[in-house]
Structure 1
Amino acid sequence: MLVRIVKLSLEPSRIEEFLSNFESQKENIRAFDGCEFLELYRDKHNTNIFFTYSYWKAEADLENYRHSDLFKGIWAKTKPMFNGKPEAWSVDKLVSLD
């Protein structure tokens, strides 16, 4: 399994637009082949900074998503909302406690 963490720094005036777009697309992202989990987080202090956290069965599944029409459409809408360069990490989960 691959864990993907993406940090998005948004223009404050575009936050509601971003949240609305995420709300309308979250089920499509989660239903994409290979996506097993999806969450959106918001920084408590810098409220224009968001993180997506997702689990993918394999790196190939994430790459298929990143090259899909779904991702391209979401990215085209989201990219103009940024006020900083997005950052992304693909990580392996080493330990998980319930």
Structure 2
Amino acid sequence: MLIRLVRMTFDPAQVPAFQALFAQTQDLIRQQPGCRLLELWQDADQPHIFCTHSHWDDQAALDAYRRSALFGRVWPATKRLFAAPPLAFSSRITDGAD
């Protein structure tokens, strides 16, 4: 399983627009093949900073979503609201024996 975190800093005035966009698309993202979990986290001290936390079957599933028409609509609309570049990284759960 692949775990993906994307930290996004928004213009504070654009937070309502982002929240509306996420509300409209979250179920569609969750329905993408290989998506096991999608959560939105809001920073407790800086409410204009959010993270998406998602679980994917593997890198191929995430890559397929990133090539989808849905991503092609959602990501550009999200990027227009940023106040700073996003930070993204992927991880795998390991038991330490790998």
TM-score, normalization by structure 1: 0.94
Give the match's secondary structure for 1:32.
coil
Deviation at 1:67, TM superposition (A): 1.1
Deviation at 1:85, TM superposition (A): 0.5
**Aligned Cα root-mean-square deviation (Å):** 0.9
Deviation at 1:62, TM superposition (A): 0.1
Runs of 5+ unmatched residues, structure 1: none
1:1-98 map, 5 Å: 1-94=1-94
- Determine the C-alpha separation between the residues in 2 that align with 1:2 and 1:92: 5
TM-score, normalization by structure 2: 0.94
- Determine the C-alpha separation between the residues in 2 that align with 1:5 and 1:94: 17
Deviation at 1:71, TM superposition (A): 0.4
Deviation at 1:94, TM superposition (A): 3.2
Percent sequence identity over aligned pairs: 36
CA offsets per residue over residues 19-61 of structure 1, 9 Å max, x none? 0000000000000000000100000111110000000001000
Count of residue correspondences: 95
Aligned-partner residue type, residue 47 of structure 1: P
Give the match's secondary structure for 2:44.
coil
